[in-house]
Amino acid sequence: MKTELSLIFQIILLEANIEYQKMTGNNSLKSLSIISLTILLLLLIWNIVPIIQARMQLVSDFIPSSIIYDLAKPYIYISSVLVFANIIAFLLFFLKKYLPVIILGSIAFCIHGVYIFLN
pLDDT per residue as tens digits for the range 32-90: 899 999 999 999 999 899 888 888 887 777 778 788 888 888 888 889 989 999 999 99
Alpha helices, DSSP H, located in 1-119: 2-57, 65-94, 98-118
Does a structural domain hold residue 80? yes
Which amino acid makes up residue 3? T
The Cα–Cα gap between 76 and 96 comes to: 30
pLDDT at 92 over 80: yes
| Number of structural domains in the chain | 1
Does a structural domain hold residue 47? yes
> Domain range holding 111?
28-118
Nearest CA to 75 among 53, 57, 48? Answer: 48
Q: pTM here?
A: 0.70
pLDDT per residue as tens digits for the range 48-61: 998 888 888 877 77
Does a structural domain hold residue 22? no
Nearest CA to 114 among 43, 54, 55? Answer: 43
Does a structural domain hold residue 6? no
